[in-house]
């Protein structure tokens, strides 16, 4: 039974039986992510007071400029997961390849791999806009006791056993699912504890908000352009309100609470879209579906896509179910 204001630790213990392959290992993994999130949150809150704003001076595997906080968050999450000896492999948006974890006390015996975007929306940190961390957890498919391979990470999103995000904003929240609904926990910075503040989170079936970077309008497919015009029409239930933060975690978090759709489509500048299937689309799609929403690439369910490479990109439509279905109808009607 969900009890509002119980701690995350209490919630994990009480609901452990509902976790897939319940053995305690997944519970420990969630607690490790909780710890790393507190460390990163502390550093995010010091931004502006210490030398952690701005560019790091290097680019990641996608050719994007890394922010100092990107690198810091990436190192802290990887370090925490390795030190706790709780996973057998890690893949990060910031790393060229996956990390195999083995050593004196970890002979590849652990069952889970973690994929993550350590700091989504990090370009916003310099202007004090909310950013987030996204994580995805799979049970390995290669034999336990052997080093992980790419096969363990290149699983479709429907094989996830848990996924979540941390949003670092006016308050810091950890929102996650293990396939039994979505629950949100707010950090009390004075105590360092996470408390259940948003039990059983649900997307409204429809909403009034559409979130898309309209600055790229001329580069969008015709179906997306038509849907935007539909959102702007003067009708009994429209126009909708345009709200775009530029941090996917923040945009989707708001839309889950208020009702809305988030779209990052392919374009003439990015034929496969910009968002990463494994680190962003799959975990957010799992959360969205568990909250009663819908997530697709405009034509196909995101969670059914078979990944072919670690840093694969995909168009992304997610949010309130009726709004996503309407956008899909426009994509189908105006597909080239």
Confirm or deny that 292 is annotated as ligand binding: no
Confirm or deny that 121 is annotated as ligand binding: yes
Confirm or deny that 277 is annotated as ligand binding: no
* CA count, 13 A, side-chain hemisphere, 226: 13
319: left (phi over 0), alpha (psi -120 to 50) or beta: left
CA distance 149 to 215: 40
CA distance 148 to 156: 17
Confirm or deny that 213 is annotated as ligand binding: yes
Confirm or deny that 208 is annotated as ligand binding: no
Confirm or deny that 43 is annotated as ligand binding: no
Confirm or deny that 64 is annotated as ligand binding: no
Confirm or deny that 117 is annotated as ligand binding: yes
> Nearest 5 degrees, angle CA 176-CA 182-CA 186?
60
Strands (E), the chain: 55-59, 65-67, 89-92, 99-100, 112-120, 131-139, 160-168, 172-177, 182-188, 193-198, 209-211, 241-242, 260-264, 294-296, 316-319
CA distance 138 to 114: 7
As a dihedral over the C-alpha atoms of residue 265, residue 269, residue 272, residue 278, rounded to 10 degrees, the angle is -80
Measured CA distances, 321 to 146, 260, 288, 294, 326 (Å): 41, 9, 9, 5, 9
Cβ contact 324:296 at 8 Å: yes
CA distance 28 to 297: 33
Cβ contact 280:134 at 8 Å: yes
As a dihedral over the C-alpha atoms of residue 249, residue 255, residue 258, residue 259, rounded to 10 degrees, the angle is -160
Confirm or deny that 197 is annotated as ligand binding: no
Point out the annotated binding site for Mg(2+).
93, 117, 119-120, 280
Known binding-site positions for substrate: 120-123, 213, 244, 274
Q: Residue positions in the annotated binding site?
A: 93, 117, 119-123, 213, 244, 274, 280
């Amino acid at each position: 039974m969900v009890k509002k204001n119980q701690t995350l630790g209490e919630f994990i213990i009480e609901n452990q039986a509902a976790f897939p392959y319940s053995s305690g290992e997944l519970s420990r993994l969630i607690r490790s992510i909780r710890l790393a999130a507190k460390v990163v949150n502390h550093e995010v809150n010091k931004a502006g007071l210490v030398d952690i704003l701005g560019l790091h001076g290097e680019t990641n595997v996608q050719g994007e400029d890394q922010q100092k906080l990107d690198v810091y968050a990436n190192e802290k999450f990887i370090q925490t997961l390795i030190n706790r000896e709780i996973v057998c492999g890690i893949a990060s948006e910031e790393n060229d390849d996956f990390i195999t974890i083995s050593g004196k006390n970890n002979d590849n015996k652990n069952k889970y791999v973690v994929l993550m975007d350590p700091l989504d929306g990090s370009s916003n940190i310099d202007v004090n806009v909310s950013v987030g961390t996204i994580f995805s957890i799979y049970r390995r498919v290669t034999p336990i006791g052997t080093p992980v391979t790419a096969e363990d990470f290149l699983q479709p999103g429907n094989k996830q056993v848990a996924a979540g995000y941390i949003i670092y904003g006016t308050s810091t929240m950890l929102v996650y699912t293990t396939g039994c609904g979505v629950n949100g926990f707010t950090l009390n910075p004075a105590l360092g504890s996470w408390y259940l503040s948003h039990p059983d989170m649900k997307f409204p079936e429809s909403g009034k908000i559409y979130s898309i970077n309209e600055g790229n309008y001329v580069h969008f497919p015709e179906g997306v352009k038509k849907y935007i015009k539909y959102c702007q029409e003067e009708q009994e239930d429209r126009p909708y309100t345009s709200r775009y933060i530029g941090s996917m975690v923040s945009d989707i978090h708001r839309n889950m609470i208020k009702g809305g759709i988030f779209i990052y489509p392919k374009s003439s500048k990015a034929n496969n879209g910009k968002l990463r299937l494994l680190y962003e689309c799959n975990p957010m799609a799992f959360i969205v579906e568990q909250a009663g929403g819908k997530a697709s690439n405009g034509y196909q369910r995101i969670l059914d896509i078979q990944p072919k490479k670690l840093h694969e990109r995909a168009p992304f439509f997610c949010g309130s179910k009726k709004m996503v279905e309407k956008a899909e109808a426009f994509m189908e009607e105006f597909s080239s």
